[in-house]
Structure 1
Amino acid sequence: MQTVNTKQLAQKLKEEKINLIDVREPFEFIEGHVKGAINKPMSQLRHWKDELEQDQIYYLMCRSGNRSRQVANLLTELGHKIYNVEGGILAWDNELEQ
């Protein structure tokens, strides 16, 4: 697992389309999320982890970076290319979608 901060993520989102997964619960996601993020809750990981493609890079985020780090560690062990967004939504300085 590698990490990026929210400024690096914002730049990456400007430059290209990335696979951004928000692992918070749906009620948290609808309160505000990064544009382009898809919601795949940590609590449902066993249901969606096999949907990820091995040849893709995934960026994971949550509220503070802790839950996404746990998911990132597991997915990295399964052979996926994962970046954890340090600081999560709390560190995101840009606009959020609802």
Structure 2
Amino acid sequence: MFKRYRNTWIVVAVILLAVLPLALVNGEFGGADGQAEEIIATVDPAYEPWFSSLLSPPGETESMLFALQAALGAGFIGYVIGLFRGKASRNKS
């Protein structure tokens, strides 16, 4: 029975892995930048940053750009692995 519906079970597992953490965790997801800023403010209250960003996108856009960067990196790594596996199987024949 499992072999017949294997793809269905995989899709259900992926959906559960994506939804359950969002449903079970309460609170804000803060980044390391915000935590570092708080620690710096407690250590040296007179500290002034020496650089400020030219462009400050809203949080949703920043998250989307981060996700896009991760997707492009994963796609590149997958392409390279597939390329090497294809070359290896072609040399084996």
TM-score, structure 1 as length reference: 0.25
* Higher RCO, 1 vs 2 (CA within 8 Å, ≥6 residues apart): 1
Larger Rg: 2
Structure with the larger helix share: 2
